[in-house]
Amino acid sequence: MTITAAALQLAFTDDMDADIAATVAAVRDAAGRGAQVILPPELFQGYYFCRHEHDRFFARAFPTPSHPSVIAMQAVAKETGTYIPCSFFEADGPHYYNSLAMIDRRGDVMGVYRKSHIPDGPGYEEKFYFRPGNTGFKVWDTDHGRIGVGICWDQWFPESARAMMLMGAEILFYPTAIGSEPAEPNLDTRRMWIRAMIGHAVSNVVPVVAANRTGVEEDQRFYGNSFIADQRGDIVDELPTDEQGAVVATFDLAEVRANRASFGFFRDRRPDLYARLAQDI
């Protein structure tokens, strides 16, 4: 079985209708290049609003069935026959989450994942808006293999990737919003981010797909550099910082599975020694 995956890299205007429409167009373009699973960036309905703490931004959240991003991705998934992990700002009664709706090729929502790890720091003040996810990690069976999806800050935690692998994931997807650090203008975390993600690919022998936004939003520049790495950690397609578009790659999952078995990482695991990992510091 093969899977052709794509990650979209877009700059946003903060006009929700325009930004969602641009994402729809990018999905169509990626589907035209043969992509079967297409990953937009994190919270693509507009600017990354979490750089501020303002109660007015809660108006950007909607329940899953009525969220404009989810509705638009359902329509284009059905139109193109593709699977779309759709990041969105979810309202659930009085609770708010940074969530992802997994949409199948018929346009149906297969399930929702709520971001497990919520960052808090200058320019990325997500704890003001989002509760920690209560869904646990998720994987989904598609016509093209079983996929796992984490959201942005989840990608810095090796436990997230390993948990999805132990649930049978065959390829990992991460929608992302990462860029400059407003409080530390000389700190460039781009290379750290890429190395962390490649580490997941290598230590789990699994392809990794990363979709980031690009462009300048107020005084914050997003890194772009969306990429796809293969199961050996080699980048097989990537975009530079300022370019919009899609990265696309095809993987033979039987070959990936054989590579994973031959490396022996899962054979040689010692869960009997790992109890400390589940304890608070």
Q: In what order do the strands lie in the sheet with 84-92?
A: 84-92, 95-103, 109-114
Cα separation of 11 and 245, whole Å? 10
For residues 234 and 206, the answer to whether their CB atoms sit within 8 Å is no
Of 113, 21, 118, 123, nearest in space to 76 by CA = 21
Query: b/e per residue, 63-87, with b = 16+ CB within 10 A?
Result: ebeebebbbbbbebbeebebbbbbb
170 is a catalytic site residue: no
- Alpha helices, DSSP H, located in 139-252: 158-166, 190-204
Cα separation of 152 and 201, whole Å? 16
List 50, 86, 90, 115, catalytic entry: 115
For residues 226 and 7, the answer to whether their CB atoms sit within 8 Å is yes
Tokens 């093209």: give the residue. Answer: 144
152 is a catalytic site residue: yes
Q: Which amino acid is at 263?
A: F
Query: b/e per residue, 106-121, with b = 16+ CB within 10 A?
Result: ebebeebbbbbbbbee
Tokens 């990690």: give the residue. Answer: 137
List 126, 152, 170, 238, catalytic entry: 152
Other CB atoms within 10 Å distance of the CB of residue 207: 27
Active centre residues (catalytic): 42, 115, 152
